[in-house]
Homo-oligomer: A and B are copies of this chain.
Amino acid sequence: MKKNITVIKGDGIGPEIVTEAMKVLDKVGAKYGHEFSFHEILAGGCAIDACGKCLPEQSLDACLTGDSVLLGAVGGPKWDGVDKNNRPERALLGIRSAMGLYANLRPAKLFSQLRAASPLNPEIVARGIDFVVVRELIGGVYFGAHDTVEENGEKRATDIMVYSEHEIERIARTAFETARKRRGKVTSVDKANVLDTSRLWREVVTRVSREYPDVAYSDMLVDNTAMQIVKDPSQFDVIVTENMFGDILSDEASMITGSIGMIPSSSLGETKNGMYEPIHGSAPDIAGQNLANPIGTILSGAMMLKYSFDLDEESAEIERAVSAVLDAGYRTADIMDEGGRRVSCSEMGDLICSEI
């Protein structure tokens, strides 16, 4: 199989971690006889530095015409002063929107080797953490109009949260399909006691749920969900929610695993051309020091093989390799534990390659 992967190394630790993921993809490609060609493009802060635009046109074109996008991380305090429409994050939002990537899957899964790293108490951890947040990614308050006006010497800012039925319907389907391949349980999260968008959300997800009688379905208020994720994460299989709630809850969910450097994500739309990235940020404080954990990006590569290229075996091979390296006790700084063997970012990439 031949695939063109569009690569956005991005800012901060982005280049380091993406380099390792490319190494691993190359190794898997060699073993299974696939050819992955990487097309590196600029987006985010580095693009602003290079050409003044967070998302140059040819970069977006490359995303749209390639077979899939692999991203490290974008942003950093360096670009805090940039105009709001050209911030590094706008590149991310621009790509998501232009590619129509409405479904963002963020697994929250405890690695058995890293149990001790969870901030939750051992009893809760023992019950298991293995769920996925299905976040709607191109609607809601992120993509409604944003406006700031001045009236009688006082500024007033407005953001519009908006959802149409078809936007909710398709993400609901993603959630129920995902649950079918997992433990068959969907929790839809909203704030239906306050928001119209949430009432519509609940109405539509409930309607879609009737097409999936084999999947257990319930709804939960967002404030309660923020509590339940900490209190008893084992109750969740698939959480489906709108963009902003998904942003907040998926970060909380990843944190309870204790190893946010390990967590990949996928963003997909109607086609197989998706975007894959670790859920952590660009960590400018440790950039360029070969300290970062590349596993979140490497596992994002594994997700790409599975979801965009249907290479299930190759994807599982990467996951197995990661697991073997963790079993052997190798740890980057962020997941270092007693008795662990401390390795650098590139050493971690090499070790994972050597298991393939």
Query: Which A residues form the contact surface with B (CB < 8 A)?
Result: 75, 84, 87, 89, 93, 118-122, 124, 141-142, 144, 146-148, 154-166, 191, 193-197, 199-201, 222-224, 226-227, 229-231, 244-245, 247-252, 254-256, 260
In the complex, 22 of the A-B residue pairs with CB atoms within 8 angstroms, ordered by the A residue number, are A84-B196, A93-B194, A119-B231, A121-B121, A141-B194, A142-B194, A148-B196, A154-B165, A155-B164, A155-B200, A156-B164, A158-B160, A159-B162, A161-B161, A191-B244, A222-B247, A223-B250, A226-B252, A227-B255, A230-B230, A231-B255, A252-B252
Q: Which of A87, A201, A247, A254 has the most CB of B within 10 A?
A: A247
Beyond A122-B121, A227-B260, A248-B248, is A87–B155 a contact (Cβ under 8 Å)?
no
- How many of these chains are in the complex? 2
- Cα distance A142–B157 in the bound complex, in angstroms: 15
Determine the chain B residues whose CB is within 8 A of the CB of A244 once the complex forms: 191
Question: A200 to nearest B CB, angstroms?
Answer: 4
Are the CB atoms of A155 and B159 closer together than 8 Å?
A: no
Residue of B nearest to A118 (CB): B121
Q: Is the CB of B147 within 8 A of A161?
A: no
The A interface is mostly helix, strand or loop, or mixed, namely helix
Contacts of A162 in B (CB 8 A): 156-159
Contact of B231 with A84 in the complex, beta carbons under 8 Å: no
Contacts of A195 in B (CB 8 A): 141, 146, 157, 159
Cβ-neighbour of A227 out of B161, B197, B252 (below 8 A): B252
- Report whether B119 and A230 are in contact in the complex, using a CB–CB cutoff of 8 Å: yes
Question: Given B159, B163, B224, which contacts A197 in the complex, CB threshold below 8 Å?
Answer: B159
Residues of B within 8 Å of A230, CB to CB, are 119-120, 230, 252, 255-256
Give Cα A260–Cα B251 distance, bound, in whole angstroms.
22
A194→B162 CA distance, assembly (Å): 15
